[in-house]
């Protein structure tokens, strides 16, 4: 565990580009325990935050009358593609704005190619900026957890374009479900380099235990409150 904490469009097209994952060697008892943990935490948080969820949904809808939720295709355990849900934090024509920005701004294009993130992202709405800094935009992923597509704790869910950057470590990513929180989120989040993110995902997958998940979940509380590296 000390090692872990120190390192603190088409689905068919995607599968053609990514090698099949190795078989998961974890015991069924461990898998069941982790799944029960996920379900209990997800249900508990959903029930506790229900008024907040409704309030955020109304605020997003009233802000620009666009969709409340945004679903993005991500790679899950075993290379399966799923739709990862978030409260929408961007303008409705976000893809078009991103394409125009990257074409006009070489620095932004380099940043996007390196991190798949923009520190100054013109697509994010005023409300969206608050939702991201508070991590409230990720609450709908609790439904992904209940559907068995994600876990409470796990690697950051990646898009197909990121898979080649993982190299051999992509096989480690495949072993576990991606998570709402994880080592990356409690280790500086967007302030960490992309290479470090990949390493954190791989180390977590190799060392996953229920006790580690609980520890990361507890560390998530101050990480969210401080909003360090969140943008």
Tell me the per-residue pLDDT of 192-203, one tens digit each, with 9 for 90 and over: 788 888 999 899
State residue 19's pLDDT score: 47
State residue 178's pLDDT score: 96
3-state secondary structure of 67: coil
State residue 213's pLDDT score: 93
The residue that leads in pLDDT, 11 or 204, is: 204
State residue 216's pLDDT score: 94
- Residue 105 scores a pLDDT above 90: no
Percent of the chain beyond pLDDT 70?
85
State residue 228's pLDDT score: 64
State residue 87's pLDDT score: 96
Closest CA to 15 of 131, 184, 163: 163
The residue that leads in pLDDT, 18 or 217, is: 217
- Residue 5 scores a pLDDT above 60: no
CA–CA separation, 21 vs 77, rounded Å?
9
Which residues lie below 8 Å from residue 220, measured CB to CB, with a gap of 6+?
181, 185, 186
Residue 195: Cβ within 10 Å count: 10
Average pLDDT over residues 115-140: 88
pLDDT-based confidence at 97, cuts 50/70/90?
A: confident
pLDDT-based confidence at 4, cuts 50/70/90?
A: very low
State residue 231's pLDDT score: 54
For residue 14, report the phi and psi dihedrals to the nearest 5 degrees: -65, -45
154-189 tens-digit pLDDT: 999 999 989 998 998 999 999 999 999 998 888 877
Q: Which two tokens stand for residue 195?
A: 């290479």
Residue 15: Cβ within 10 Å count: 15
- Residue 22 scores a pLDDT above 80: no
For residue 90, report the phi and psi dihedrals to the nearest 5 degrees: -120, 165
State residue 36's pLDDT score: 94
């Amino acid at each position: 565990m000390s090692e872990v904490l120190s390192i603190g469009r088409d689905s068919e097209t995607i599968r053609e580009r990514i090698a099949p994952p190795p078989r998961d060697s974890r015991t069924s008892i461990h898998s069941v325990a982790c799944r029960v943990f996920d379900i209990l935490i997800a249900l508990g948080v959903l029930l506790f935050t229900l008024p907040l969820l409704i309030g955020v949904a109304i605020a997003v809808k009233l802000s620009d009358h666009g969709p409340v939720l945004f679903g993005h295709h991500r790679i899950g355990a075993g290379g399966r593609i799923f739709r990862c849900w978030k409260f929408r934090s961007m303008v409705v024509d976000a893809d078009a704005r991103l394409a125009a920005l990257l074409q006009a701004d070489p620095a932004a294009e380099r940043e996007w190619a390196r991190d798949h993130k923009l520190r100054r992202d013109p697509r994010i709405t005023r409300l969206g900026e608050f939702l991201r800094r508070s991590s409230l935009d990720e609450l709908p992923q609790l439904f992904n957890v209940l559907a068995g597509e994600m876990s409470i704790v796990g690697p950051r869910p990646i898009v197909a374009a990121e898979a080649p950057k993982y190299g051999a470590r992509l096989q480690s990513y495949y072993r576990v479900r991606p998570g709402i929180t994880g080592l990356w989120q409690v280790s500086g989040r967007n302030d960490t380099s992309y290479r470090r993110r990949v390493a954190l995902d791989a180390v977590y997958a190799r060392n996953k235990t229920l006790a580690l998940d609980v520890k990361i979940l507890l560390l998530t509380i101050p990480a969210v409150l401080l909003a360090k590296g969140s943008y």
